[in-house]
Amino acid sequence: VPRGGDPYRLYNLDVFQYEVFTPMALYGSVPLLLAHRPRLSLGLFWLNAAETWVDIGSNTAGKVWQGGLGGALTGTGHWGHCKFFSFSLIPIFRGIFGGFLNSGPAQAVLGDFTPVSAPCPGTQALPPLFSLGYHQSRWNYQDEADVEAVERGFEEHELPLDVLWLDIEHADGKRYFTWDPAKFPNPRRMLEHLAARKRRMVSIVDPHIKVDGGYRVHTELRARGLYVKTKDGNDYEGWCWPGFYNLPPYFWGPPADLGSPQGSTEALFTWNDMNEPSVFSGPEVTMHKDARHFGGWEHRELHNIYGLYVQKATAEGQIRRSGGRHRPFVLSRAFFAGSQRYGAVWTGDNTADWEHLRISIPMCLSFGLAGLAFCGADVGGFFQNPGPELQVRWYQAGAFQPFFRAHAHLDTARREPWLLSPEHLALVRSALRRRYALLPTWYTAFYRCHRQGIPVMRPLWMEFPDDPQTFAMDDQYMIDRVLLVHPVTEPGAHGVNVYLPGEGEVWYNDETHEQHRAPQTLYVPVTLSTIPVFQRGGTVIPRQDRPRRSTEAMRGDPFTLYVALSPQVSVGGTPKTPQGPQNPPQTSPSSADPRGSMSTPAWLERVVILGVGRPESALLTTHG
């Protein structure tokens, strides 16, 4: 609940240098409320894309319908209240509205809520493997020579990298789907060079279509009448980075295939930014509420879902581009319930300070609970310049969040990792390599999320629903059900207190393999090199420990299984690996059943068993 008790406003806006712990509107909205106590959880999903206010507080009278939500959970005579208010000019029986209420045992509600409301949100799309690697971005890498120098820097300093990003300066006069001919005269050669090094590129495509009679995209959309209209029937015109622009409506109208950016290849993927939509000349820096979409729908009815449809159109375009052979990758700043079906999201334009590093954890946990499992924060902070300690700690935290991208504002100092001191560079390299070693674990977690709707990065209370001590914890979390992570988010820290939950369970330090009994609060001494991570007893973690330049370069590398013994449960795991280089959008031959079989070029190199002493002998029996 925001400090001060004011209601949340769900209204997607382009917010400059947002503050933390405020109920102000931000880039995206998911009208989902989850409430939990031991042995009972409730979920309420309010399907309405109009401006919505959510008031959460205490109501001793308890005479509102939503009050039962809090009363059922408190188990006392006092009723909490939660009120949803959506501003629509259409009667409910004509408007876009739906409500979904689910209750039951915690694991059933929290694990099944997304499938229960699948007609609305759906589950997280299974991402292409490369997108789980490290992404390097800034506003802006200036030209082809700059791009190649940055890529070469990662190679020379033995830093893994999967994707280089280009912001708005790459386009010709902010005409998206084009390249600046002076800065990027041969984009195809640049992309082919990256692909040859087993890397990819992402370029930005905002929804703003520059008003320019010589711009093919604009003239085609105008000729076909495919722009949002004003209430008077004229093309809606706003002002943003391109200058004057028009906006495609994306909702339900006739399709318009805008093609791929000139000179692009299938190694180029997309970042949809400013898609709230941002209108510098509009009220609250967004589109007028009385603008008209296809069918006469006013924008006020659809505002919060606009960004989702931009991302949806982009993802579907990428699938068509490859003939269905490749999964899409699209990052979107604006989002709504269901955006997870089309790609990734992030926490937006954060600031290079410790407070924004800390808040990235509960923000990503909230994303995951709302179904948006592929989430992250700009490593290092978008605004301002981080000091070396903050930059290292942010890399360490980002390595254990689902989407891992460094990004920075145009006015900040360059901050490629090798610009740090050799000592700090070594720490960043270590964090990057830990991320890549655990990619099989990340991919398995995303597969389970895709199939079951369970967040990849989740709060402790989701795994330990009857332990009240976990309920308010938002500085540590689980990755799938196998790893507990407590990033260091305080300057000058010499230690952190890590709560290890689970009556009678055991946890193993991920680096030292030291065993700890739960439940307990463990003081962990830390240096700048420490990332407190613990493997849960009773789990198996697959790792690929050989350093490589990218995820694609790791294909066929051997696996090491880390088997963590537990006195309570038998050990088990179902590792999932992508098959073949193409990553088709839906499925490929594979098995997540321990009794099934599958073919992979990789092989099992080692099995490390945690929790036992060194045996005097071992016998391995194989068939064939």
Residue 19, token pair as written in the block: 């503050």
**Average pLDDT, stretch 157-174?**
98
Q: Is 552 within the bounds of a domain?
A: no
Q: String of b and e for 132-151 (b: at least 16 CB within 10 Å)? A: bbbbbbbbbbebbebbeebb
Q: Is the dihedral of CA 240, 271, 115, 26 positive or negative?
A: negative
Cα–Cα distance for residue pair 55/256, rounded to 1 Å: 40
Q: Closest by alpha carbon to 346, among 382, 309, 315, 310?
A: 382
Residue 189 is predicted with a pLDDT of 98
Q: Is 27 within the bounds of a domain?
A: yes
Q: Is 342 within the bounds of a domain?
A: no
For the cut 60, the answer to whether the pLDDT of residue 206 exceeds it is yes
Residue 93 is predicted with a pLDDT of 39
Q: Is 602 within the bounds of a domain?
A: no
DSSP secondary structure, 273-289, as one string? -STTTB-TTSGGGB--T
211, with CB counted inside 10 A (0-12, 13-18, 19+), is middle
For the cut 60, the answer to whether the pLDDT of residue 561 exceeds it is yes
Task: For tokens 């002998």, name the residue.
Answer: 617
Residue 570 is predicted with a pLDDT of 63
Q: Is 459 within the bounds of a domain?
A: no
For the cut 60, the answer to whether the pLDDT of residue 596 exceeds it is no
For the cut 70, the answer to whether the pLDDT of residue 61 exceeds it is no
For the cut 60, the answer to whether the pLDDT of residue 91 exceeds it is no
**Average pLDDT, stretch 357-384?**
97
Residue 417, token pair as written in the block: 């990792």
Residue 418 is predicted with a pLDDT of 99
Q: Is 409 within the bounds of a domain?
A: no
Q: Is the dihedral of CA 219, 222, 227, 232 positive or negative?
A: positive
Lowest mean per-residue pLDDT among 95-99, 186-190, 280-284, 597-601:
95-99
* pLDDT band of 380, cuts 50, 70, 90: very high
Residue 569 is predicted with a pLDDT of 60
Task: Assess whether 353 carries a catalytic annotation.
Answer: no
Residue 60 is predicted with a pLDDT of 38
Lowest mean per-residue pLDDT among 12-21, 106-115, 266-275:
106-115
The fraction of the chain above a pLDDT of 70, given in percent, is 82
Q: Domain count for the chain, please give it.
A: 1
Alpha-helix residue ranges (DSSP H) falling in 322-412 = 354-369, 388-398
Q: Is the dihedral of CA 171, 172, 174, 176 positive or negative?
A: negative
Distances (CA, A) of 578 to 161, 388, 441, 566, 581: 19, 36, 12, 29, 8
pLDDT tens by residue, 16-41 = 999 998 888 999 999 988 888 888 88
Cα–Cα distance for residue pair 268/180, rounded to 1 Å: 16
Residue 473 is predicted with a pLDDT of 97
pTM score, whole prediction: 0.92
**Average pLDDT, stretch 598-617?**
83
Which candidate in 14, 162, 167, 273 is catalytic? 273
Q: Is 440 within the bounds of a domain?
A: no
C-alpha R_g of the chain: 25
**Average pLDDT, stretch 53-72?**
51
Residue 407 is predicted with a pLDDT of 99
Distances (CA, A) of 43 to 34, 108, 231, 542: 5, 11, 38, 34
For the cut 60, the answer to whether the pLDDT of residue 67 exceeds it is no
Task: Assess whether 349 carries a catalytic annotation.
Answer: yes
pLDDT tens by residue, 518-559 = 999 999 999 999 999 999 999 999 999 999 999 999 999 999
Q: Is 23 within the bounds of a domain?
A: yes
Domain that holds residue 50: 8-116
> How crowded is residue 298: how many other Cβ atoms within 10 Å of its Cβ?
18
For the cut 90, the answer to whether the pLDDT of residue 103 exceeds it is no
In this predicted model, which residue has the larger pLDDT, 396 or 77? 396
Residue 574 is predicted with a pLDDT of 63
- Mean pLDDT across the chain: 88
**Of 101-115, 260-274, 593-607, which has the strongest mean pLDDT?**
260-274
Spatial CB neighbours of 161, under 8 Å, sequence gap ≥ 6: 133, 134, 136, 151, 154, 199, 549, 550
Distances (CA, A) of 296 to 249, 255, 279: 11, 17, 21
Long-range contacts of 309-314 (CB under 8 A, 24+ apart): 309/250, 309/251, 310/207, 310/250, 310/272, 310/275, 310/277, 310/334, 311/272, 311/275, 311/335, 311/339, 311/342, 311/343, 312/250, 312/341, 312/342, 313/250, 314/205, 314/270, 314/272, 314/342, 314/343
**Average pLDDT, stretch 318-347?**
97
* pLDDT band of 88, cuts 50, 70, 90: low
The pairing of strands 52-59 and 8-10 is antiparallel
> How crowded is residue 555: how many other Cβ atoms within 10 Å of its Cβ?
18
Which candidate in 206, 349, 378, 480 is catalytic? 349
Residue 567 is predicted with a pLDDT of 85
Residue 1 is predicted with a pLDDT of 47
